[in-house]
Structure 1
Amino acid sequence: MRAERPAEVTDDPAPTGRRVVLRSLSGQRRLVAGASLLAASHQACEALVPVVIGVLIDQAVAPGSLGALVRWLVVLAALFAVLSFSYRHAARAAERAAEQAAHRLRIELGERVLDPRGGAEAGRLPGALVNIATDDARRVGRINSALPFGVAGLAGLLVSSVALLLISVPLGLLVLLGTPPLLWLAHLIGRPLERRSGAEQERAAYASGTAADLVTGLRVLKGLGTESAAVARYREASRDSLAATLRATRAQAGHDGALLALTGLFIALVALVGGRLAIGGTISIGDLVAAVGLAQFLLGPFQIFAWVNGMLAQGRASARRVASVLAAPPAVSAGNGRLPENVAGHLRLTGVAHKALTGVDLDIAPGRLTGIVAPDPAAASALLECLGRDADPSAGVVELDGVELADLHPGDVRAAVLVAAHDADLFEGSLLENVTAAAGANPPGDGVDTLAERAALDAGVRRALDASATDEVARALPQGVDTAVTERGRSLSGGQRQRVALARALAADPPVLVVHDPTTAVDAVTEARIAAAITEVRRGRTTVLVTTSPALLATAHRVALIDDGAVAAEGTHRDLLQAHPAYRSAVLT
């Protein structure tokens, strides 16, 4: 049995924030270049407007020439037409580049989070990952829309500097020599904003993750009566997020105010020098109008620089957070081994040590139903992680048909070994779509190639529904198996969700099925029915039941007790009840 492997992130094994930004820009280089060219054309035309007005005064208004007046008015109209066209299309191209770059980052982050090797989620709440894939990706993408206007600002400065040089060499030199220090100061002023923007995003992501975590466990919190503690926890996270946001906002205000003050002083200096030159007769009235207009125009490029600098500061901070996810080391290696074409399902654990497991030796015969009792929940979770290859044991080996799981690709392992967790989530869609999702199949009648395939699919789904007692759930719902299920199955009761999740695992029909506590939320009669049905449905296929349910364990061919991190006893359920006090205590209390 061989399954198609999921896509993996392989472009850059260790991306940094700088590489994320450069990759984002290079992926949209055509749009960014086009937007930069058009935006530069817009700013150049804007800079030429006061120059044309000055020439119009000297050549048309002062001498009273109607023909010259008409000619220069036409030139002025053409400038406005070009700058209007350029800005409209530059903004469109820049926005498209930003959105496409953010979308590609979101796709890349999604692929990394869904990588079967895992590791991206380590130490992060789900809400934090969502925040990185949305807000941070958007901020990095916006660099693509900011950069063209930064280029446009430089073009505007260059054109205005050349124009001022033609009007007066001192004025042109003042702008040319004064701009680099001003840009350097703008970069220094933007550093606090960059730091505080990163902290703001971290706190916001943590608050989002806390909220998602609390909403997910709302029913449990209410059952335990711990709502006040949960509210206090979220209030603290929210306050920290608010404080970080206020600090970032103050940094943004300080950044913008400081740059505005600097540019205001610089523009005032240019206007003062131009006025003195006009008083001294060095330049004409038209030149003075052009110089003052250019000095006022300079406010635009410097405001653009302030905005671009802020976008770059926020984008760099977000890029580092994006890179932290993309560069997260995988939890397990890919592996180059191969399973046999037909997996028999022979599992062997030799000296397995992982978390609460200290040295598990266990041989699970192929085609048999094996029960595993682990009174310590941590030991059960550690065992499931090793069998599903969510983690590799720190010592010992887990083998499937003689092949070590550590030598296999995680996707191949999970195609052969399906671990159905106790708290498996359901998804939005119909009940039937939830049941058929794990099998990688469409609901009956939808996209099935032949009548034979449809009949086989129908039969498999029906067996899974019957064996898990989900048929009873369907009969209680208004539209049967076509009834819509809300996100995480919240429209169903706990027992109903558990039965649908079990039906999904049975419908997948993997060579090896590992089920963890599948009947804790159902009544005793239903549990007995499910126990008998699982044995029939999984006949000839390897099945592992990690549970303390006597009804399920009674159907197992063999049962193993894991106590103190190792296998303490093996035998039938009846024999262990009679001979082993620890086993009897675990399953009967």
Structure 2
Amino acid sequence: MSPTYPSGRDVLRESVREQRRDVGLGALLASGHQVGEALVPVLIGVVIDRAVTGSDTGALLLWLGVLAVVYVGLALSFRFGAWAGDRSAVRAEHSLRISLVRRVLHPGGGAEDGRLPGALANIATEDAKRVGGVNTAVMYGIASLAGILTCAFVLLRTSVLLGLVVLLGTPVLLWLGHLLSKPLETRSEAEQERAAHASAVAADLVAGLRVLKGIGGESAAIDRYRTTSRDSLAATLKAARAQAFQSGMVLALTGCLIALVALVGGRLAAEGSISLGQLVSAVGLALFLVGPLETLAWVNAELAQGRASAGRVGEVLATPHGVTAGELSLPSEVRGALRLTGVSHGGLREVDLDVAPGELLGVVATDPAHATDLLRCLARRSDPDSGTVELDGVSLRDLDPAEMRTALLVAEHDADLFEGTVRDNVTASAPASGDSEPAMTAAGVAQVAQTLPDGEDTAVSERGRSLSGGQRQRVALARALAADRAVLVVHDPTTAVDAVTEAGIAAGLREVRKGRTTVLVTTSPALLAVTDRVVLLDGGRVTDTAPHADLIARHETYRAAVLA
């Protein structure tokens, strides 16, 4: 999407503009279909006046042939017009979905703040589909207007009064239909909001199913989802009632207009102002009007729902980035010197920390929230409220987040795996010329592979649910090690493995990261024992720093955090 900060109207306008060729082609062909449909009753009237009334067999055959040609033309126009319209809708939906995914995955972040993953997925699927469908609605709307104008032109040629009834009645009908679509737009927006929330809650429950079973929280989770689902159902029913009311009222108004055309045409025929064939044509055109007028009512409903969905899409696309790109670049060779100066963010208070190039540093936070705040600053998912974080003397604020992450990787505790094989997950971010075997050995993935049916080529299901918690952690750690970044920050990578395996991973991690900067944010004694030194974060401040053994011996708070 071209607008940098789009509104809902921008989203709709851009969606149609990008597919203007298909929309134009579809509208042209669909208009040909509607014009052909309008000509059918006209040709029937001509057959009656010129062939049936005068018993002219030649004229009858001639006009029946013309009628057959018109039928073939309108059938082909409908077929290829519908194809072009559907293609425009699908392409617009795809383009919009790509834009949403690109925004969510943007290095600057921000789109996911305050939105559950399920809600974002709903916007990228259902809302994108509704916005894409506006292209089809525009196409059919243009075609319906073409049919109505053709009908009005023919009726004007037959009788000015009949033509004026259609020309004046149609705009009034369209205006009333637009007014009736307003409640539908509001309720459709509420419907999509509730549906997205229900989808998000369901996704969270599925993701945390094992934990819920472990703590016996299934009933509370079910109650929560039931409440959310009922809210979504209530919103859907309100939207359905609004749509039914709008469709019913427009259909009733359409019937009134058609009845008026038939009444005026009947009176003109009775007065002798028009012929029998013209009366048949007028009545046929009145019946034909049902189609395009019903289509316009449907178009109004589609536009109302499309505007509501476009507003939700626009909100995601317009979300400001969490961090902005700076103008500086990293040195050609990153040494890996990391420095925090006076960093305050969340629970962190004036944190000063220097990590030398090649150092293996442990960080113990007495409050897990403070560890999370530190990771957000190091990953540059948020900039500190005050203070600076520097890599090789360059402030992270002055770097492009994407470029920064080519040198500094933060591997968080809850990292997900992806569908594919075990090896595919490990090598997902590894350099093309890199060797992933040392990383897999260090993280203990070789042991995992021995227990799997196809070893490293065993398929992994979505989010790694086919693996145990310890297996997932080892594969995720191997992936982080295989990325071979100059600076690696790892958060609690071994909480789900046994003590013997953890000790092996600690030794392997030190070996594979030798000479490169590594920060272990953890309270694991096995991991902290292989670090060069450990920093203690207590109350959001750096209160002590020393080798692990020294802190164990002299610091009660450290002992409580690490050995409890």
TM range (shorter): over 0.9
Name the CA distance, whole Å, in 2 between partners of 1:61 and 1:366: 99
Amino acid corresponding to residue 156 of structure 1 in structure 2: G
Alignment of 1:222-233 (within 5 A): 222-233=213-224
Name the CA distance, whole Å, in 1 between partners of 2:482 and 2:110: 28
Amino acid corresponding to residue 436 of structure 2 in structure 1: V
Does residue 568 of the first structure (1) align with residue 543 of the second (2)?
A: yes
1:261 paired residue among 252, 264, 273: 252
Aligned residue in 1 for 2:181: 190
Name the CA distance, whole Å, in 1 between partners of 2:312 and 2:105: 18
Alignment of 1:77-92 (within 5 A): 77-92=68-83
Does residue 159 of the first structure (1) align with residue 150 of the second (2)?
A: yes
Aligned residue in 2 for 1:461: 436
SS in 2 for 1:358: strand
Name the CA distance, whole Å, in 2 between partners of 1:558 and 1:342: 25
Name the CA distance, whole Å, in 2 between partners of 1:47 and 1:526: 79
Alignment of 1:137-152 (within 5 A): 137-152=128-143
Name the CA distance, whole Å, in 1 between partners of 2:46 and 2:457: 76
Q: How far is 1:438 from its partner?
A: 2.2
Q: How far is 1:587 from its partner?
A: 0.7
Aligned residue in 2 for 1:428: 419
Name the CA distance, whole Å, in 2 between partners of 1:297 and 1:476: 70
Amino acid corresponding to residue 423 of structure 1 in structure 2: D
Residue deviations 1:148-197 (CA, integer Å, cap 9, x gap): 11111111111111111111111111111111111100100111111111
2:126 paired residue among 105, 121, 135: 135
Of 63-72 and 98-107, more deviation after overlay is shown by 63-72
Residue deviations 1:32-71 (CA, integer Å, cap 9, x gap): 1111111111111111111111111111111111121112
Name the CA distance, whole Å, in 2 between partners of 1:473 and 1:284: 89
Aligned residue in 1 for 2:456: 481
| Percentage identity across paired residues of the two chains | 62
Name the CA distance, whole Å, in 1 between partners of 2:193 and 2:416: 27
SS in 2 for 1:105: helix
2:34 paired residue among 43, 68, 76: 43
Does residue 526 of the first structure (1) align with residue 501 of the second (2)?
A: yes
- Cα contact 2:506–2:530 (8 A) shared by 1: yes
SS in 1 for 2:560: helix
Name the CA distance, whole Å, in 1 between partners of 2:431 and 2:59: 77
Alignment of 1:286-365 (within 5 A): 286-365=277-356
Name the CA distance, whole Å, in 2 between partners of 1:90 and 1:169: 32
Alignment of 1:534-573 (within 5 A): 534-573=509-548
Closer, same or farther: CA 440–318 of 1 in aligned 2, 3 Å:
farther
Ranges in structure 2 where 5+ consecutive residues have no aligned partner: none
Aligned residue in 2 for 1:366: 357
Name the CA distance, whole Å, in 2 between partners of 1:440 and 1:89: 48
Amino acid corresponding to residue 528 of structure 1 in structure 2: A
Of 208-217 and 431-440, more deviation after overlay is shown by 431-440
**Number of corresponding residues:** 564
2:239 paired residue among 216, 238, 248: 248
Aligned residue in 2 for 1:448: none
Aligned residue in 1 for 2:381: 390
Closer, same or farther: CA 440–264 of 1 in aligned 2, 3 Å:
farther
Q: How far is 1:545 from its partner?
A: 0.5
2:16 paired residue among 22, 25, 32: 25
Residue deviations 1:544-587 (CA, integer Å, cap 9, x gap): 01011111111111111001111011111111112211111111
Aligned residue in 1 for 2:273: 282
Q: How far is 1:536 from its partner?
A: 1.3
Name the CA distance, whole Å, in 2 between partners of 1:526 and 1:30: 61
- Cα contact 2:343–2:352 (8 A) shared by 1: yes
Amino acid corresponding to residue 277 of structure 1 in structure 2: L
Amino acid corresponding to residue 483 of structure 1 in structure 2: T
Q: How far is 1:518 from its partner?
A: 1.1
Name the CA distance, whole Å, in 2 between partners of 1:485 and 1:301: 52
2:204 paired residue among 203, 209, 213: 213
- Cα contact 2:431–2:484 (8 A) shared by 1: no
Q: How far is 1:528 from its partner?
A: 1.3
1:503 paired residue among 466, 471, 478: 478
Deviating 4+ runs (over 3 angstroms): none
SS in 1 for 2:112: coil
Name the CA distance, whole Å, in 1 between partners of 2:115 and 2:531: 38
Name the CA distance, whole Å, in 2 between partners of 1:483 and 1:411: 31
Aligned residue in 2 for 1:445: none
- Cα contact 2:366–2:539 (8 A) shared by 1: no
1:74 paired residue among 47, 54, 65: 65
Residue deviations 1:506-557 (CA, integer Å, cap 9, x gap): 1111100101111111111111111122111111100001011111111111
SS in 2 for 1:283: coil
